[in-house]
Amino acid sequence: MTILHLALSADWDAARQAGEYRVSTLGRTLEQEGFIHACADHTQLNGVVQRFYRDVTEPLVLLTIDPRDLDVRLETPADSDEAFPHIYGPLPVTAVITATPYTTP
């Protein structure tokens, strides 16, 4: 099983230099949010893209993550009826299986 996270390319580049990724979502850090947002599959990702990333013009990368050694909790946000994986703690770059360029539809 893998989980997905959409990142700004610049944030991912910085994480690769630092050894860990600490961005929760657009404009919010792990420290501000308390966890890193993720998606269980491409269906969830498509919904997130439509709600939050449609107008993003900066380059994006899709991170495919192996969650085995991470503190991942399935949680249902107050404004949703579906559970999303949330990563508690920084994301080590070694847990990222692939980072591929992503273009919003």
CB atoms within 10 A of CB 84: 19
Average pLDDT, rounded, for the chain:
96
| pLDDT tens column, 76-96 | 988 889 999 999 999 999 999
Is the Cβ–Cβ distance between 21 and 64 less than 8 Å? no
Which run of H or E residues covers position 32?
helix 30-33
Q: Phi, psi at residue 54, to the nearest 5°?
A: -55, -40
User: What's the pLDDT at 3?
Assistant: 98
Contact 104, 53 (CB under 8 A): yes
Task: Determine whether 6 is exposed, middle or buried from the number of CB atoms within 10 Å of its CB (0-12, 13-18, 19+).
Answer: buried
CATH fold of 3-102? ADP-ribosylation fold (3.20.170)
Per-residue pLDDT, 80: 86
